[in-house]
Structure 1
Amino acid sequence: MIRGIRGATTVNENEENEIMDNTRNLVETMISANNIDVQSISHVLISVTKDLNAGFPAKSVREMPGWSFVPVMCMTEIDVPGSLENCIRVMMVINTEAKQTDIQHIFQNNAVRLRPDLVNMEGDKGNEG
């Protein structure tokens, strides 16, 4: 069965190392929280808000051990007035037998505001930062 796992984080500055480090931390937390084997990952989509252009967050993911052949793509998030700034969003698509309700969606830093309904489930289920 195919399932999507949502993740999002924010950075303080439009700085390449911060973008890379926060993206890597988010993806590693998503993997750990959902007990994912890299071989079960179909693909990963990463979007960033228009204010983040200092580096490609996908680069940090591709450099992780075992990720050389996982398709990863970056894009710009829709620029909605008043939306959360400095935000990196991840949609990881995996093959799993887990129920949709068992998926742990991860929101870190200021991105916890994006989906409080998921963050506050079962005592902050999905909030790993």
Structure 2
Amino acid sequence: MRGIRGAITVEKNDSVEICNAVQEMLKAIISENELAAKDIGAAIFSATNDIDAVFPAAAARKMKGWDLVPLFDAQQMTVDGSIEKCIRVLLLVDTDKPQDEIRHIYLRRAKMLRPDILNK
């Protein structure tokens, strides 16, 4: 089992925009790591306190194959100067890939969270 991280930002607290962003992030993680929904043991989402129009897990639940994936939402802790309107995810996946082959995905303004992996 491996953990795969991801994050994405939205411009406004809008349920359609949030759902689209969550699905974009998850599709990128799945594609980059050559996964299928059946490989995912659980997904833990967090969102900054300025996102409350919809649960990020609700967006994941709409994706094909995600109806059996255990999903959990939490509020990201607030830290002065931290990124706003950000949704993060930790996927626990069943894979034989070693950790150094796992591709963590940070999109839009969330790229600033992990500048150390931008060019990998």
In the superposition, the TM-score normalised over structure 1's length comes to 0.91
Write the distance in 2 (CA, Å) between the matches of 1:60 and 1:111. Answer: 19
Q: Determine the structure 2 residue equivalent to 1:108.
A: 107
Give a deviation string over 1:4-51, Cα, whole Å, max 9, x none.
Answer: 001000000011111100000000110000000211111000000000
SS at 1:79's partner residue? coil
Q: Determine the structure 2 residue equivalent to 1:93.
A: 92
Give a deviation string over 1:50-78, Cα, whole Å, max 9, x none.
Answer: 00001111111111111111001111001
Write the distance in 2 (CA, Å) between the matches of 1:38 and 1:89. Answer: 18
In the superposition, the TM-score normalised over structure 2's length comes to 0.97
4+ residue runs over 2 A deviation? none
SS at 1:68's partner residue? helix
Where in structure 1 are there 5+ consecutive unaligned residues? Answer: none
Identity %: 39
Which structure has more relative contact order (CA 8 Å, sep 6+)? It is 2
Write the distance in 2 (CA, Å) between the matches of 1:32 and 1:62. Answer: 18
Q: In the TM superposition, what is the alpha-carbon distance from 1:82 to its structure 2 partner?
A: 0.8
Q: RMSD of the alignment, in Å?
A: 0.7
Q: Determine the structure 1 residue equivalent to 2:29.
A: 30
